[in-house]
Each structure stands twice: as C-alpha cells, then as structure tokens.
C-alpha cells in the first residue's frame, strides 16, 4: 500500500477566524474586543483592528485573543475555558501545534445593564 503524504497549509486569517469562533463558544464571552495592531500589520491586513492575533513560527502557532466578557462572568474561569477550547479546536481541525493561547480580557459587556435601566 502506498502512503500519501499530504501537507496542509492554513492561512493566518483562517486560524484567526477559527480562534474567534472557538472563543465565542464559551459561556461568559460576549465577543472579541477590537484592538489596534501595529502599523506593519495594518498594511498587510484588510482591517486595522482585530480581536485575534496569530503568530506562526517553525510550524507552531501562538494565538493572542482580546475578549469581551459578560458582566457577571468570572474572568479567570472564562479565560481558562477559552484557552483550552481554542487550543483543542485548532489542533483538531488543522493538526497544527498550538504552543500558546494568550487571553486578554479587554472589555466587560455592560449592555445588559444599560437595557435594564431603560
């Protein structure tokens, strides 16, 4: 039987979208916060602001997410769940090794509170 060697290459934009979807699956995450990226990234990217940054080095991936959590969520628990889910989903879907998933709580969603006041 012959063995087929297939190499999978996934763009950073696709990895960013996968990470975004995986993060938003976690209870307590209301979305990703839009963070400014450095000037070089603005020139290469379609958007100057993103909530996910993917760095690919030597076949391993480092991911940084800027999340917005719900006002009643426990930040530490949510961040740990996001880390694990993002790592598991990307490794399962792509076979790429995810070495770090950095989660930064960038905002708290107070929209529920504002609608209650009105």
CATH value at residue 102: 3.30.70.1350
Domain annotation covers residue 25: yes
pLDDT score at 110: 84
In a domain, 37, yes or no: yes
Contact 87, 101 (CB under 8 A): yes
Does position 14 have pLDDT exceeding 80, yes or no?
A: yes
Q: For residue 82, is it within any domain? A: yes
**What are the start-end ranges of the E strands in the chain?**
29-32, 35-36, 49-50, 52-57, 60-70, 97-109
pLDDT digits (tens, 9 = 90+) for 21-37: 999 999 999 999 876 55
- Number of structural domains, the chain? 1
| pLDDT tens track for 44-98 | 555 556 789 999 888 789 999 999 999 999 999 999 999 999 999 999 999 889 9
């Amino acid at each position: 039987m012959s063995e087929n060697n297939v190499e999978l290459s996934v763009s950073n934009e696709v990895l960013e979208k996968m990470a975004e979807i995986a993060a938003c699956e976690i209870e307590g995450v209301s979305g990703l916060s839009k963070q400014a990226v450095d000037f070089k990234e603005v020139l290469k990217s379609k958007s100057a602001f993103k909530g996910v940054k993917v760095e690919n080095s030597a076949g391993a991936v480092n991911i940084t997410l800027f999340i917005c959590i719900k006002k009643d969520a426990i930040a530490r628990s949510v961040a740990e769940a996001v880390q694990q889910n993002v790592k598991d989903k990307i490794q399962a879907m792509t076979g790429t090794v995810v070495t770090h998933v950095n989660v930064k709580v960038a905002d708290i969603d107070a929209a529920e509170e504002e609608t209650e006041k009105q």
